Amino acid sequence: MIKIIFDKLVRDKIPLKLKGSEIFYKKDMNTIKYILKKIHEELKELENAVQIENHENISYEIADLYEVLGSLVKFLKIDNINHYIKDKKEKNGSFEEYLIIDYIKMKDDSPFLAYYENNSDYKIIKE
């Protein structure tokens, strides 16, 4: 007998494909943890597909990521995600122009500086 540790969220039809196997489900359901873990997994798979430039695989991986994000929205009972998408677009724009900022320079007294200083995604260099 071989035991294979999954410890992850799977699509609904996967157990049906494992006929003849004994399936054990998690009892301590921290569902949000597993949905977020699945999002990371699908994102890594998308990154790999992009690196090898496999267009069909990229499409499937985007579909997987989109579906898991939809699952998260449903789990969190967010009724109108499109409202939030529209609101963010109106306030900050979209990602459709593919703008990639290398760096910005701002004055020490800029009202925006505190945001960047308090966000670990940004590296601050004082010149």
pLDDT at 10: 87
pLDDT of residue 29 exceeding 80? no
Q: How is residue 39 annotated by DSSP?
A: H
Domain boundaries, the chain: 14-98
Given a contact cutoff of 8 angstroms between Cβ atoms, the answer to whether 7 and 40 are in contact is no
Contacts of 122 (CB under 8 A, 6+ apart): 116
User: Which residues does 37 contact at the CB level (< 8 Å), separation at least 6?
Assistant: 8, 9
Q: How much of the chain exceeds pLDDT 70, in percent?
A: 99
Is the confidence at residue 17, as pLDDT, over 90? no
Output the pLDDT for position 18: 87
Tokens of 126: 């004082």
What was the pLDDT predicted at 19? Answer: 84
Mean pLDDT of 99-113: 86
| pLDDT score recorded for residue 40 | 97
The predicted structure's pLDDT at residue 115: 85
**Range 40-63 burial, b when 16+ CB lie within 10 A, else e:** eebeebbeebeeeeeeeebeebee
Q: Tens digits of per-residue pLDDT, 31-55?
A: 999 999 999 999 999 999 999 998 9
Q: Strands of the chain (E only): list them.
A: none
- Comparing C-alpha atoms, which of 36, 9, 4 is closest to residue 21? 4
Q: How confident is the model over 44-95, as pLDDT tens digits?
A: 999 999 999 989 999 999 999 999 999 999 999 999 999 999 999 999 999 8
